[in-house]
């Protein structure tokens, strides 16, 4: 399988090349040149997540240097539970938050780390992963790459702009992971990363790569849990489920669209966004209009210009075909709060604000089978959740053990020479 750019102005590349490059040279995003087709029967006898994953992703790895390692990569990356729980007659919830940093980004980050560490193994110089984060992504990436040989990670986050628990998840690793608190805002962190990629000293002295959400190595593994959940649901009920997906940058939802296209037993896809409305308005018939993001309680979905929209539009023949295939609803902060407050009584569940967006959308849909995607553990957002439910949220064991690790960071000015001085 070869991978091509959404902008069609770069040569096609191998999977390994696409993983190492991140972005295509023409500025586009890598997509598979074609999507393989599967039938339910192709997965007969496969139950475990890593087994289903290896079967699903085999066509994408075919002919690549990593092909022989795929089964092992799936085992390594997907080493935590992805339970599908029944909430009521027609509603299930797919919990993606049982990984080391308690959010679904662990799946993509761990898979990418397993791939890149194999590709970096033979190189004379270590691979340097630079990651700017406003909170969640950096923790998942740091955890995934921690102690991977021949790779170093440098996490940049805005000083004083992340929650205490988020900061701990960025700064508790040590070894090959370093955390820099930048005196500035998130955009400054992103600019420092961009400047480093363009800087002669960095180009000469480091082998740079990025692990942000546009890397194809984060999208491909996300298809695995859609395949598993839809197959499990189908085997149990004989019915195709629809998915309700909390959406920001469209990476998680894109994986579901690809899985649907590939023939997995998925009935339909419903996107759930917070008050950031570009996707909802576009699907409602207006032109594509990115906007500055607005802050909401579901902050990991505060995106006004979703980067994966380019891949979504590439998947469909034209915008009308996309509007026919996918629906979306937007939920405001008051509805998020109400859904969290009512969740305990209605379902005996505590939802994180992102999951609550999807849950609220599900409640507006007809009584056909739906799987709601739960993207983070509520203990990560205790400052929002606890006052609403009037009791503490229990911290899951993975997060608890992480909070016990000592934390360390270096504070720097928002200038590249400050970061360079620390090398």
Which residues of the shown chain bind ligand PLP in the complex (CB under 6 A)?
A: 103, 105, 136, 246-253, 300-301, 354, 375-376
DSSP-derived secondary structure letter, 13: B
Q: Which two structure tokens, joined as six digits, stand for 5?
A: 């750019």
Shortest distance (Å) from residue 156 CB to ligand PLP = 18
Residue pair 242/267 in contact by the 8 Å Cβ criterion: yes
DSSP of 37-57: ---GGGGTT--SHHHHHHHHH
Q: How far is CA 242 from CA 92, 172, 264, 269, 306, in A?
A: 10, 38, 11, 6, 22
- Compare residues 206 and 354 and give the one whose CB is closer to ligand PLP: 354
Q: Pick between residue 28 and residue 246 the one whose CB is nearest to ligand PLP.
A: 246
Minimum Å gap between C-beta 411 and ligand PLP is 25
Cβ proximity to ligand PLP, 119 vs 326, nearer residue: 326
> Which of left, alpha, beta for 174 (phi over 0: left; psi -120 to 50: alpha)?
left
Please report how close the Cβ of residue 356 comes to ligand PLP at its closest, in angstroms: 10
Closest approach of Cβ 103 to ligand PLP, in Å? 5
Please say which residue, 32 or 108, places its beta carbon nearer to ligand PLP: 108
Smallest gap, in angstroms, from Cβ of residue 242 to ligand PLP?
Answer: 17
Cα(192)–Cα(201) distance, rounded to whole angstroms? 14
Between helix 49-61 and helix 70-77 the angle, nearest 10°, is 140
Cα separation, 105 vs 97, whole angstroms: 9
Closest distance to ligand PLP from the beta carbon of 65 (Å)? 27
If the CB atoms of residues 113 and 357 are measured against ligand PLP, the closer one turns out to be 357
Q: Name the residue nearer to ligand PLP (CB basis): 16 or 221.
A: 221
CB of 106 to ligand PLP, least distance (A): 10
Report, in Å, the least distance between residue 202 CB and ligand PLP. Answer: 27
Q: Cα(362)–Cα(90) distance, rounded to whole angstroms?
A: 10
User: Which DSSP string corresponds to 280-316?
Assistant: HHHHTTSPP--------SSGGG--SS-TTHHHHHHHS
Which run of H or E residues covers position 31?
strand 30-32
Stated as kind and residue range, the H or E segment containing 352 is: none
Q: Which is nearer to ligand PLP, 55 or 165 (CB)?
A: 165
Q: Give 49 or 250: the residue with its C-beta nearer to ligand PLP.
A: 250
As given in the structure block, the two tokens for residue 375 are 């993207």
């Amino acid at each position: 399988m070869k991978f091509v750019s959404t902008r069609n102005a770069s040569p096609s590349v191998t999977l390994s090349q696409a993983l190492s490059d991140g972005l295509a040279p023409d500025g586009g995003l890598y997509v598979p040149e074609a999507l393989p087709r599967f039938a339910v029967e192709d997965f007969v006898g496969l139950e475990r997540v890593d087994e289903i994953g290896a079967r699903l992703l085999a066509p994408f790895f075919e002919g690549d240097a990593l092909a022989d390692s795929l089964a092992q990569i799936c085992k390594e990356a997907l080493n935590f539970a992805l339970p599908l729980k029944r909430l009521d007659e027609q509603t299930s919830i797919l919990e993606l938050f049982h990984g080391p940093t308690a959010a679904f980004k662990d799946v993509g980050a761990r898979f990418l780390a397993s791939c890149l560490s194999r590709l970096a193994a033979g190189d004379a110089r270590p691979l340097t992963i630079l990651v700017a984060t406003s909170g969640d992504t950096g923790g998942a990436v740091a955890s995934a790459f921690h102690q991977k040989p021949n790779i170093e990670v440098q996490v940049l986050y805005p000083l004083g702009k992340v929650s205490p628990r988020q900061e701990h998840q960025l700064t508790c690793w040590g070894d090959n992971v370093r955390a820099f608190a930048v005196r500035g805002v998130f955009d400054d962190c992103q600019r420092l990363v961009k400047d480093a990629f363009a800087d002669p000293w960095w180009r000469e002295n480091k082998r740079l790569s990025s692990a942000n959400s546009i890397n194809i190595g984060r999208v491909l593994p996300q298809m695995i849990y859609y395949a598993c959940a839809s197959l499990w649901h189908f085997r149990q009920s004989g019915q195709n489920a629809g998915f309700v997906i909390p959406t920001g940058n469209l990476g998680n939802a894109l994986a579901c669209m690809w899985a649907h296209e590939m023939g997995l037993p998925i009935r339909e896809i419903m996107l759930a966004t917070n008050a950031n409305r570009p996707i909802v308005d576009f699907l409602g018939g207006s032109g594509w209009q990115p906007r500055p993001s607005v802050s909401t309680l579901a902050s990991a979905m505060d995106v006004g210009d979703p980067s994966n929209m380019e891949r979504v539009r590439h998947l469909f023949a034209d915008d009308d075909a996309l509007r026919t295939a996918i629906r979306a609803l937007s939920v405001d902060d008051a509805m998020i709060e109400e859904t969290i407050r009512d969740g305990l009584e209605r379902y005996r569940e505590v939802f994180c604000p992102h999951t609550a967006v999807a849950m609220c959308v599900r409640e507006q849909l007809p009584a056909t089978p739906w799987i709601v995607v739960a993207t983070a553990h509520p203990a990560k957002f205790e400052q929002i959740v606890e006052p609403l439910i009037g009791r503490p949220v229990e911290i899951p064991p993975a997060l608890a053990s992480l909070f016990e690790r000592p934390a360390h960071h270096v504070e720097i000015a928002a200038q590249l020479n400050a970061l360079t001085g620390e090398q």
